[in-house]
Amino acid sequence: MDYRQSGVDIEAGNETVRRIRSLARATFTPGVLSEIGSFGGLFRLAPGQFREPVLVSSADGVGTKLKVAFMTGRHDTVGADLVNHCVNDILVQGAEPLFFLDYLATGRLSPAVAEQVVGGVARACRENGCALIGGETAEMPGFYADGEYDIAGFIVGIVERERIVDGRGIAPGDAIIGLRSAGLHTNGYSLARRVLFEMSGLRPDSVVDALGTSVGDALLAPHRSYLPAIRPLLADGVIKGMAHITGGGITENLPRVLPAGCAASIDLRAWSVPAIFTLIQERGGIARDEMLRAFNMGIGLTIVCAAPDAKRVLGQLAAAGESGAVVIGQVTSGDGVKY
């Protein structure tokens, strides 16, 4: 009896590390001091770059969007979803990413699949200026079904203490600006799969006219990173608060950045809801409020700023390529979100 007979292939693990080492190394920034394969990743902050640096960290996963990847055999996008989700989570507090680590667990390790997944992670890290300095690949036979895996990501970023975006200055009358999503991003997939595949009998390769593409392509649309659009605004101090619209939708995420006594009034007519959400709602007979709590409904990030600054913020966003940004509501007195 040996380890391979029990379901763990050490040679496959070594081959996986060999394949991903060059992918990770291509993301290295000047602060990286260690190689892939070290017990810990080393990162050095440039001296004098910050007066009072604050580290900001987050961890997340991709959820059951992975099930769509399994169904389609496409594994090159979910890694990017993971990175961009984590980047946005620390971005809303004003932080720029420094480095990233990933965790990939599977029942039977496929070096080719692992390479696709980590390739997506590495690509998004490069695009966000974030170093992939380490991670873990775990083969766990009997725990995951063959052909399935789970991934999680861990990010560390940095922000000058005086530039932390925490929402404390938000007040009634402030404007709420919405930045468009690319689709479901990484939330609501359990409900979407139930409606589209189980209830409606659609397949990933089913083409729906309203979508203009296959169901699988619509569901695998990448989670956007808002860092390029937001970065130019961070130095101005014009942003009072931001919310990453993930699980819970606008309904539960926007209140997380509002101070006590403040509520949000959202005008649902301010933007066009992408067709994928309309399809899910109609096929599933889902109530409007449930849709707004389960999905982002086309808004992936919200910015709160003083009402007189809204026009300037929209102009700067447009200059950064974010032409679809729009005022979607305002801050009011009270609590929660009203539509």
Which one of 110, 128, 163 terminates a domain? 163
Question: Percentage of residues in the chain with pLDDT exceeding 70?
Answer: 96
Q: Are 27 and 152 in a shared domain?
A: yes
How far is it, in rounded angstroms, from Cα 208 to Cα 331? 38
> What is the count of structural domains for the chain?
2
Q: What is the structure's pLDDT at 94?
A: 98
Binned at pLDDT 50, 70 and 90, residue 296 comes out as: very high
Query: What tens digit of pLDDT does each residue of 83-123 get?
Result: 999 999 999 999 999 999 999 999 988 889 999 999 999 99
Mean pLDDT of the chain: 94
Q: Are 73 and 183 in a shared domain?
A: no
Per the domain annotation, does 54 fall within a domain?
Answer: yes
Domain that holds residue 115: 10-163
pLDDT at 6 over 60: no
Q: Taking the model in full, what pTM does it have?
A: 0.94
Q: Are 327 and 184 in a shared domain?
A: yes
Q: How far is CA 144 from CA 66, 274, 335, in A?
A: 13, 34, 42
Q: How far is CA 109 from CA 7, 243, 320, in A?
A: 9, 36, 41
For the chain, the straight-line distance linking the first and the last C-alpha, in angstroms and rounded, comes to 63
Q: Are 217 and 272 in a shared domain?
A: yes
Q: Are 107 and 150 in a shared domain?
A: yes
Q: Among 336, 325, 338, which residue's Cα sits nearest to residue 267?
A: 338
Per the domain annotation, does 1 fall within a domain?
Answer: no
Q: Are 243 and 193 in a shared domain?
A: yes
